[in-house]
């Protein structure tokens, strides 16, 4: 697999982002490799490896060496091989007593990690810096908080998070919170709460991305009605192809398109394949039953191992991920689809998309299906960059541009 040329200039990157002409693309011969892509990944859980076993505290910046091949799915050699120019890295706020201190601690930790590898990694806070860093052949890290409950749902903590460099916030994670309902929990607000509405306005004012990946359909629709700027769904696939509630129904895909946002397709097996999703849900139900019946000892684990032996994990393919990308494109349009892997946040993997080195394989599959260089550039990076730029322009003190682009 060809890897990214070591040093792309920012101008060369801009040329890649902005096709010189929008006329018909020349046909690419089968022998020609796909264009040098520059991928922006919407969701990366690398920091999970920097937590202690209890996941209640962080190790130091040397707690996990990303400079060489790791036991996880993400490290600097594989990000480089994967032609990753930027990613939203989840910064989990573990201090639940003093959340401002918590967000400052985790962002400081990540900056210390980046400082260990200045030739390969840099924290960025805006689209111009992102393009510059990616153009130098380095990975630009944007900070994202996955659920606003980690900020206590507080606009004061949100402002502190912004000051610490966080640029993307999910309104909810797995559980319904004070701001709105989550897709994987029961509804308390039937959408966004009044506090959630104020929170979305504050995200807009600060120039931060509103991430609706874990929000319920109603919460997402309410947020779209309020947001002055385009939104992202940083790691979600199409519900028409796989019925997981975390996935996006067609009506929401169309609403995101009207808003000018981007839906970034995920690589998690049970969000990709309906067969895998059913298997996973059944496994979860059996595990809950076994644990309830055998709260102590090893019996629940033994029963679960027997169930898994009798019900092996169904295979899921890279082609099915490409199907989700093409579905989002078909329903929302070519300007509203991106990629959000969830690497280091999944328990099983899709063969061919095992780790951060594998993005080119997905782009090659799309190229094989007839996607042009210009279309590949949009899904790989261009659509997300357009959204980030529009969010920055819509911020208070920005140059205006609150109309979705
Ligand atoms: Zn998630």
Helix axes 318-332, 250-259, angle to 10 degrees: 60
| pLDDT at site 38 | 84
Helix axes 217-226, 194-206, angle to 10 degrees: 50
Ligand 1 geometric centre to CA of 87 (Å): 14
Give residue 53's pLDDT band: very low, low, confident or very high (50, 70, 90).
confident
pLDDT mean across residues, the chain: 90
Ligand 1 geometric centre to CA of 44 (Å): 9
| pLDDT at site 4 | 27
Ligand 1 geometric centre to CA of 346 (Å): 9
Ligand 1 geometric centre to CA of 229 (Å): 22
| pLDDT at site 55 | 84
Lowest mean pLDDT among 2-6, 282-286, 335-339: 2-6
Closest CA to 362 of 264, 234, 246: 264
- If you average pLDDT over residues 197-215, what whole number do you get? 98
- Burial (CB count within 10 angstroms: exposed 0-12, middle 13-18, buried 19+), residue 105: middle
Ligand 1 geometric centre to CA of 2 (Å): 30
CA–chain centroid gap for 263, Å, is 9
| pLDDT at site 54 | 86
The helix, strand and coil proportions of the chain, stated in percent and rounded to the nearest 5, come to: 45, 10, 45
Query: Which pLDDT tens digit goes with each residue over 25-44?
Result: 344 444 444 445 689 999 99
Ligand 1 geometric centre to CA of 98 (Å): 23
Query: Which pLDDT tens digit goes with each residue over 134-149?
Result: 999 999 999 999 999 9
Ligand 1 geometric centre to CA of 79 (Å): 20
Ligand 1 geometric centre to CA of 214 (Å): 6
Ligand 1 geometric centre to CA of 19 (Å): 33
| pLDDT at site 347 | 87
- If you average pLDDT over residues 76-84, what whole number do you get? 97
Phi then psi for residue 256, to 5 deg, are: -65, -40
Per-residue pLDDT for 295 more than 70?
yes
Give residue 153's pLDDT band: very low, low, confident or very high (50, 70, 90).
very high
Per-residue pLDDT for 7 more than 50?
no
Give residue 6's pLDDT band: very low, low, confident or very high (50, 70, 90).
very low
Ligand 1 geometric centre to CA of 23 (Å): 38
Ligand 1 geometric centre to CA of 41 (Å): 13
Ligand 1 geometric centre to CA of 32 (Å): 36
On whether the CB atoms of residues 187 and 378 are closer than 8 A, the answer is no
Helix axes 383-394, 127-135, angle to 10 degrees: 150
As a whole number of Å, the end-to-end CA separation of the chain is 35
Ligand 1 geometric centre to CA of 263 (Å): 13
Per-residue pLDDT for 275 more than 50?
yes
Ligand 1 geometric centre to CA of 169 (Å): 11
Enumerate the β-bridge partners of residue 90: 144
Ligand 1 geometric centre to CA of 183 (Å): 11
| pLDDT at site 283 | 96
Query: Which pLDDT tens digit goes with each residue over 299-342?
Result: 999 999 999 999 999 999 999 999 999 999 999 999 999 999 99
CB neighbourhood size of 287 (10 A): 16
Ligand 1 geometric centre to CA of 86 (Å): 18
Ligand 1 geometric centre to CA of 15 (Å): 33
Per-residue pLDDT for 23 more than 80?
no
Ligand 1 geometric centre to CA of 123 (Å): 21
- If you average pLDDT over residues 164-174, what whole number do you get? 98
Closest CA to 153 of 188, 117, 114, 115: 188
Query: Which pLDDT tens digit goes with each residue over 337-388?
Result: 999 999 999 989 999 999 999 999 999 999 999 999 999 999 999 999 999 9
Ligand 1 geometric centre to CA of 339 (Å): 14
Ligand 1 geometric centre to CA of 348 (Å): 15
- If you average pLDDT over residues 275-284, what whole number do you get? 96
- Burial (CB count within 10 angstroms: exposed 0-12, middle 13-18, buried 19+), residue 29: exposed
Ligand 1 geometric centre to CA of 317 (Å): 21
Ligand 1 geometric centre to CA of 266 (Å): 10
| pLDDT at site 195 | 98
Cα(133)–Cα(120) distance, integer angstroms: 9
Ligand 1 geometric centre to CA of 211 (Å): 10
Which residue has better confidence, 70 or 20?
Answer: 70
Query: Which pLDDT tens digit goes with each residue over 89-143?
Result: 999 999 999 999 999 999 999 999 999 999 999 999 999 999 999 999 999 999 9
Closest CA to 262 of 298, 217, 200, 212: 212
Closest CA to 221 of 182, 255, 247: 255
Ligand 1 geometric centre to CA of 81 (Å): 24
Phi then psi for residue 316, to 5 deg, are: -130, 145
On whether the CB atoms of residues 80 and 4 are closer than 8 A, the answer is yes
- If you average pLDDT over residues 160-182, what whole number do you get? 98
Per-residue pLDDT for 223 more than 90?
yes
Cα(344)–Cα(404) distance, integer angstroms: 32
Closest CA to 381 of 330, 344, 337, 343: 337
| pLDDT at site 396 | 82
Per-residue pLDDT for 47 more than 60?
yes
Closest CA to 62 of 135, 117, 123, 128: 117
| pLDDT at site 354 | 97
Ligand 1 geometric centre to CA of 233 (Å): 10
Ligand 1 geometric centre to CA of 96 (Å): 19
Ligand 1 geometric centre to CA of 235 (Å): 7
């Amino acid at each position: 697999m060809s890897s990214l040329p070591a040093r792309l200039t920012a101008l060369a990157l801009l040329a890649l982002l902005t096709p010189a002409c929008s006329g018909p693309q020349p046909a690419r011969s089968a022998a020609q490799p796909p264009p040098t892509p520059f991928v922006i990944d919407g969701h990366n859980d690398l920091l999970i490896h920097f937590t202690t076993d209890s996941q209640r505290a962080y190790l130091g910046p040397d707690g996990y060496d990303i400079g060489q091949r790791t036991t996880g799915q993400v490290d600097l050699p594989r990000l480089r091989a994967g032609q990753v120019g930027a990613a939203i890295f989840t910064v989990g706020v573990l201090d639940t007593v003093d959340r401002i201190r918590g967000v400052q601690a985790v962002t400081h930790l990540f900056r210390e990690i980046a400082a260990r590898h200045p030739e390969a990694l840099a924290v960025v806070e805006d689209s111009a810096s992102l393009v510059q860093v990616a153009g130098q052949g380095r990975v630009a890290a944007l900070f994202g908080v996955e659920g606003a409950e980690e900020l206590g749902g507080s606009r004061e903590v949100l402002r502190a998070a912004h000051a610490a460099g966080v640029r993307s916030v999910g309104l909810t994670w797995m559980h319904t919170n004070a701001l709105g309902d989550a897709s994987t929990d029961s509804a308390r607000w039937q959408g966004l709460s009044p506090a959630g509405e104020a929170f979305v306005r504050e995200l807009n004012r600060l120039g931060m991305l509103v991430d609706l990946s874990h929000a319920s359909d109603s919460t997402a629709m309410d947020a779209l009605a309020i947001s002055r700027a385009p939104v992202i769904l940083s790691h979600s696939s199409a519900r028409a192809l796989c019925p997981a509630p975390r996935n996006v129904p067609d009506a929401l895909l169309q609403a995101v398109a009207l808003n000018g946002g981007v839906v970034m397709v995920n690589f998690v097996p049970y969000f990709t394949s309906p067969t895998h999703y059913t298997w996973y849900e059944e496994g979860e139900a059996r595990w809950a039953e076994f644990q309830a019946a055998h709260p102590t000892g090893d019996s629940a684990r033994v029963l679960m191992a027997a169930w898994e032996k009798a019900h092996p994990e169904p295979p899921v393919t890279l082609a099915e991920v490409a199907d989700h990308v093409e579905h989002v494109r078909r329903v929302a349009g070519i300007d509203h689809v991106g990629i959000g892997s969830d690497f280091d946040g999944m328990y099983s993997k899709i063969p061919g998309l095992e780790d951060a080195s594998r993005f080119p394989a997905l782009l090659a599959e799309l190229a094989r299906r007839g996607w042009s260089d210009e279309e590949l550039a949009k899904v790989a990076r261009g659509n997300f960059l357009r959204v980030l730029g529009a969010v920055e322009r819509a911020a208070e003190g920005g140059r205006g541009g609150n109309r979705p682009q």
